[in-house]
């Protein structure tokens, strides 16, 4: 698959998770888990391919998805 398809899949997955995942603790811990898994994957799997999947590129997208969820973790949290 091309990098454009990876980017589109990551964007769609982020949009779905951002809209459907509402509890604050779940958004926070899933964001932290995706960030850690992405960083570890970038370091360990940078040049690895599994069938047709580029695991290094998927790790980069997992890191970005985790950062997005973590930074917007209070999106549905009531103020006050």
Domain ranges of the chain: 3-71
Q: What's the pLDDT at 47?
A: 79
Q: Is the pLDDT of residue 80 over 70?
A: no
- Residue 32 has a pLDDT of 94
pLDDT attached to residue 6: 81
> pLDDT (tens digit, 9 = 90+) per residue, 27-65?
889 899 999 999 998 888 777 777 877 788 888 888 988
Quote the pLDDT of residue 33: 94
Write down the H helix ranges in 1-80.
Answer: 3-20, 24-44, 55-71
């Amino acid at each position: 698959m091309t990098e454009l398809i990876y980017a589109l899949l990551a964007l769609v997955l982020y949009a779905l998770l951002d809209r459907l995942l509402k509890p604050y603790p779940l958004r926070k811990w899933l964001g932290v888990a995706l960030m850690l898994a992405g960083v570890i994957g970038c370091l360990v799997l940078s040049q690895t391919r599994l069938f047709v999947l580029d695991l290094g590129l998927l790790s980069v997208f997992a890191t970005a998805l985790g950062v997005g969820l973590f930074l917007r973790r209070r999106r549905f949290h009531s103020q006050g």
